[in-house]
Amino acid sequence: AILLLGAALRFSFPTADPPWRTTVGVVWHDEGAWTHNARNRALFGEWRLDAWNPMFVAPVFTALEYGSFATFGVGTWQARLVSEVAGMLAVLLLGLGVGRVGGRLAGLIAAAWLATNYVYVMYDRAAIMESLMAAFVVAGWYGFVRAQREPMWGLFAGAAAILAYFTKAAAIFFIAALGVA
């Protein structure tokens, strides 16, 4: 039920304009800029057509955006699909991870909070890289939690941390945190 509610909040009216007034400092018009190279590849067969090339800064995000465009066509809802799916993955893995650490009720509460948190839902409804980065961070943390009893999950945690970094370099903190832990 929590996942269905989270999905309804993220996938309903996917082309609706984002909030016009935000308190979290989000620049919503970044959607076009960060999907630029993926769109170029899907429409014109070339990654680079001009001097604006954020694919070098966010290659994982760009690749997944291209996958969405190549599969479903180029448009607003297709661009936002990557963030929406990533947000749902984060809800699921946060619930499962907290459930392992703090019990089933704690996991359900954590998943419900993330599924319905206004700021996180709004990030997940925009084609910006923060949702994907956060989803990889949550996936890495989930792998870290699992690695406490099954060490092979440490590889999953490390891979997720690296994917987070190559989605948005601000995730370098997470790689450092895993290393320290």
pLDDT in tens, 44-103: 999 999 988 888 889 999 999 999 999 999 999 999 999 999 999 999 999 999 999 999
CA distance 84 to 75: 14
Q: Which residues are CB-neighbours of 180 under 8 A, at least 6 positions away?
A: none
Token duo for residue 23: 């308190």
pLDDT given for residue 55 in this prediction? 87
CA distance 65 to 39: 8
Alpha helices, H only, the chain = 2-11, 30-34, 36-44, 59-72, 76-102, 104-116, 118-124, 129-147, 153-167, 172-180
pLDDT given for residue 54 in this prediction? 85
pLDDT surpassing 80 at residue 42: yes
